[in-house]
Amino acid sequence: MQRYRHIRAALVLCLLGISLAALVVAGDRARAASHAAGPVAQQVTVSPAVVSYGESVEITVEGLPPRYPLPAGAVTLAGLRLPVPGYFGTTGERPESDELGNLTFTTYPPTDTPLGSQSLAIAIAPLYFASTVLEFPGAPLSLSPTSAVPNQTVLLNGTGFTPASAGGGLGPQKVHQITGRGESVITLNGDALRTPYVNYPIDLDKDGGLLTTVVIPATQATALAGILELRSTDSGGRAGSIELTIPSPTVAFHPAAGYPSETVRIRGSGLQASNPSLSFENTVNIEYRYVVNQGTPSQYYVAKPLGQATVDGSGAFDAEFTVPQEARIPSSNFVAILPRQGEPSTATHTVPGPSVTAIPGAAFNNQAVRITVKGLPHNYTLPAGAMTLSGVRMPLPGYFGVPGGRPKTDSSGKATFESLVPAPVPVGVQQLQLQLPAGEQVTNTLEVLIATLSVTPQAAVPGQTVVVSSSDLSPAAAGAPGPLGNHQINGVSLSLVTLQGRRIGSPHVTYPIDLEVDGVISFPLVVPMDDLTIGGDELAIRVADTGGRKGMGRLTIKRPTLTIRSGSGTRGSLAEVVGEGFVATAGPDSSPHRIDIDYAGARVAAAVTDTQGSFEATFRVPSATAAGSTNSVTARLRHVYMDASMEARATHVVPAPSVTVHPESGPPGAKLTVTGRGFRGFTQVLPTIDDVHQPQSTGIYTDINGSFNVSMVVPEAFPSGPSSLSVQVDRTKVSFLFEVTEN
């Protein structure tokens, strides 16, 4: 018997293709390697880490003994044996580790591999064990929509199922199917779906594509919101899965809160759907449950039916209802949704307290706004002083000559009327207040706008005329002071033009300033000449008309500047200066504004500004200015206004002494001109060539500005080549080379 067992073991090993001698040799190698190199890390890796049907995976094994053949049953995926090359008809060479104990081979997951994250293991007991994770998602599926309610029909689309080329298909042209028998079904959360939710058999296309509709059944699993697995398995054993979201029921109101007798739209979703294929229509009864004795120990709710709505194929409904008159102001109530099939639900509906709103929410003084009050007693007439804005009473129709009927609430406690933003209300966000009958107050906000003033030009100088304009001031109205019923800026009381808060009057602006009938205005303004404007800054121009509207703009006061067109020049040379940003001379009939120009503290010129505050002037650089100096040029307004001066500065350079000769070369007998600048005035000039004084150049002196011109002749006896030409003025000697050329 013992001998029989040995023979049977040998036969098994031979069938596996491994001889007893090979195992002995491999075992000896393993023991030798272990003694020689010590333990080696055992590791298995896969590439790619995600595969599906028909896709190959490359497996790398590390830490085997050197030259060790991988046994056929050593590789498993989710407990299923993976085919190994060279065994049982699998193509390829049998994997064997290299000298380092590593090997790599390629295989395919079997069709019956479970979906999801699976363990891939290499197990050779007791020699080796290593594992890793391989993702096996199966055939890709998509769902439209991805979220659905019970009884709703969804579209299931998939690829990568068993193609007809795999053989064994029982459908038309040998395509595979989802048969509805055995494992070949569609399941939801593990439960197989049957008719009428799925119509079997479902034919795949020849490439393994799936396209079908599925009705989501009403079950315990789909009655609750959550995520469920929808799985499909075909007749070839391939499967795919996808997540389906079951949404929670929701109810929304528009508007979110409403008063008694107001119409509210209600929208619900997440209910069991109506579905003609199931011959089922779901409806909901809607109830309003208003509170009685709110906030007391005896509080309770009274239900009032509102009507019925039909649920559509996606589990949604849309309806309108009227808030019952019995609902109190304010109160918190419930709307009950009672479906024919499915669980009932409730949503809180709020009846708010009294409110007041103005449209538009931003307006100018004296502009009409539409006021709406809600939540007041039924058929209540608002008294004259019920509405204020920033503490100022708003005019109500029917009182004190304001045309129209007195505001009165309807059966829902609502009233709408027009009023004007009072003229005295300041600009900005102001409190709109409604006085309630019981003495309480309800508030909101209304922004009082300010008109934008355009100033042209936006930057100007004192004395210059600018044009101020706007299109948003008060339009014509009955009782307005203008000749055509138009409003004005009349210079009286608060109807003024101001600059940085300071009143502007004649001669800078002429009152009254008439607005056009549509509220457009355009008028000239002469920029005042005072301590605000002399220094140069950005100033605010404000206006207020007789209708109470205000406007504001910005005026930039230019700062004076001075520019010298040539930044350097010798003594006695002419210099041109340009000034800008000074006080403007208004015109030929006005007094001129004079500018004094100083050079290094000495007055050298004067000028008169034009209507833009600019001037040009020419002066001669003083002869007493030191050569090689940098000097300050100042332009200053001759008259000082309120201890505020106006001046600008620039820099001018007088260069150091210099000598030039022309031409710079020539033959014996050639005439030369030597020019000098920047020397001391009235000083003798002594020119020499090669230190030889030139007698024809005696009696030469610099002029008052230290300049000179000397004519010289190159002596006939001078040889060709460079010669030294020098000029001595007082104690200053300047030398340079002159090239003597041949005749």
Domain positions in the chain: 2-136, 141-246, 250-351, 358-449, 451-557, 561-654, 658-740
List the one residue out of 736, 738, 697, 698 whose CA is nearest residue 719.
Answer: 738
Q: Is 200 helix (H, G, I), strand (E, B) or coil?
A: coil
CATH code at 250-351: 2.60.40.10
What is the pLDDT confidence band of residue 30, given thresholds at 50, 70 and 90? very low
What is the pLDDT confidence band of residue 532, given thresholds at 50, 70 and 90? confident
Which architecture, in CATH terms, is 561-654?
Answer: Sandwich (2.60)
**Phi and psi angles of residue 282, each rounded to the nearest 5 degrees, phi first:** -95, 135
Q: For residues 491 and 13, which has the higher predicted lDDT (pLDDT)?
A: 491
Residue type (1 letter), 141: L
CA distances from residue 719 to 160, 607, 662, 714, 739 in whole angstroms, order as listed? 106, 58, 19, 10, 10
Average pLDDT estimate for 186-208: 96
Q: Cα–Cα distance between 273 and 313 in angstroms, integer?
A: 5
Sequence-distant (≥ 6) Cβ neighbours of residue 459 within 8 angstroms: 555, 556, 557, 558
- What CA dihedral angle connects 23, 24, 27 and 32, to 10 degrees? -140
Least confident segment among 25-39, 474-488, 709-723: 25-39
Q: Cα–Cα distance between 241 and 574 in angstroms, integer?
A: 95
**Phi and psi angles of residue 529, each rounded to the nearest 5 degrees, phi first:** -110, 95
Q: Count the Cβ atoms, other than its own, within 10 Å of residue 321.
A: 22
Average pLDDT estimate for 507-525: 95
CATH code at 451-557: 2.60.40.1930
Report the mean per-residue pLDDT for the chain: 90
Q: Which CATH class is domain 141-246?
A: mainly beta
Average pLDDT estimate for 530-558: 92
- The reply to whether 658-740 shares the fold of 141-246 is yes
CATH code at 358-449: 2.60.40.10
Q: Is 687 helix (H, G, I), strand (E, B) or coil?
A: strand
What is the pLDDT confidence band of residue 220, given thresholds at 50, 70 and 90? very high
Sign of the dihedral through C-alpha 178, 179, 184, 188 = positive
Q: What is the DSSP string of 358-401?
A: EESSEEETT-EEEEEEESPPTTPBPPTTSEEETTEEPP-TTSTT
673: β partners: 662, 711
Superfamily of structural domain 658-740: Immunoglobulins (2.60.40.10)
Residue type (1 letter), 582: F
List the one residue out of 466, 614, 460, 609 whose CA is nearest residue 537.
Answer: 460
Q: Is 65 helix (H, G, I), strand (E, B) or coil?
A: coil
Q: Cα–Cα distance between 504 and 708 in angstroms, integer?
A: 60
Residue 696: its pLDDT value, please?
58
Q: Cα–Cα distance between 162 and 470 in angstroms, integer?
A: 78
Residue 421: its pLDDT value, please?
96
Q: Is 557 helix (H, G, I), strand (E, B) or coil?
A: strand
Residue 260: its pLDDT value, please?
93
Residue 11: its pLDDT value, please?
33
Residue 305: its pLDDT value, please?
97
pLDDT of 4 strictly over 60:
no
What is the pLDDT confidence band of residue 200, given thresholds at 50, 70 and 90? very high
pLDDT in tens, 576-596: 999 999 999 876 657 789 999
Which ranges in 477-586 belong to alpha helices (H)? 531-534
Q: In this structure, which topology does domain 2-136 adopt according to CATH? A: Immunoglobulin-like (2.60.40)
Residue 16: its pLDDT value, please?
36
